[in-house]
């Protein structure tokens, strides 16, 4: 299994793997996004769900209470101290059958105590990415919409998997918005 380069990512984007696709790093006055040497920095949309404990809900992945979040559409949000928010990517992804991705945070946010967690995009998964943004600091943290949030690394296997995410009808396949936990 090898990490894929900018040439391969550009070629696959031309076949619909990433839409919209930014062929170069956009950096002027924004937290960078777009194609890099061995990855793609995705952008966070202006749709967010910010965690709140105002309703004293319990976080239960088997019975998730939507009252745990406040929905916000904005150019930037504030994630409360020691809290988190969900968001979605601007880009829509279609992962090839022999590819797995891993997402890592961007250094600009990481140096501010912001951690981005995204599970791997499995072979033949497609959709907008639900992004988990954690503020590990005791201070409020600002997140900017329409700018880079994390980097996707693409790994291509030396053989095609027997069963893909699409084959098993994964529960997060073709997700459109911010998708909360499903059982």
State yes or no: 172 annotated in a binding site: no
- Catalytic member of 132, 147, 159, 162: 132
Q: Which position has the token pair 């391969």?
A: 8
Q: Which position has the token pair 């499995």?
A: 122
132 in active site: yes
State yes or no: 110 annotated in a binding site: yes
Alpha carbon separation from 128 to 18, 43, 162, 178 (Å, rounded):
10, 11, 24, 8
State yes or no: 130 annotated in a binding site: yes
State yes or no: 163 annotated in a binding site: no
State yes or no: 73 annotated in a binding site: no
State yes or no: 175 annotated in a binding site: yes
Segment holding 92, helix H or strand E: strand 83-94
How far apart are alpha carbons 158 and 123 in whole angstroms?
13
**Partners of 156 in the β-ladder:** 2, 99
* Binding-site annotation: residue ranges: 106-111, 130-132, 151, 165, 171, 175
Catalytic positions are 132
Q: Which residues are annotated as a binding site for dCTP?
A: 106-111, 130-132, 151, 165, 171, 175
């Amino acid at each position: 299994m090898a990490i894929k380069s900018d040439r391969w990512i550009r070629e696959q984007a031309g076949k619909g793997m990433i839409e919209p696709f930014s062929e170069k790093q956009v950096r002027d006055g924004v937290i960078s996004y777009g194609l890099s040497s061995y990855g793609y920095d995705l952008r966070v949309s202006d749709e967010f769900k910010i965690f709140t404990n105002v309703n004293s809900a319990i976080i239960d992945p088997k019975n998730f209470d939507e009252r745990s979040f406040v929905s916000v559409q904005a150019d930037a949000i504030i994630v409360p101290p020691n809290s988190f928010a969900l968001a979605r990517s601007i880009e829509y992804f279609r992962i090839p059958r022999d590819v797995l991705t891993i997402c890592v945070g961007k250094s600009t946010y990481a140096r501010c105590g912001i951690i981005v967690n995204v599970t791997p995009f499995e072979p033949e998964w497609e959709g907008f990415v639900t992004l988990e943004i954690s503020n590990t600091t005791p201070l409020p943290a600002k997140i900017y919409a329409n700018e880079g949030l994390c980097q996707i690394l693409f790994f291509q296997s030396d053989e095609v998997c027997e069963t893909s995410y699409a084959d098993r009808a994964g529960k997060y396949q073709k997700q459109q918005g911010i998708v909360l936990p499903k059982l």
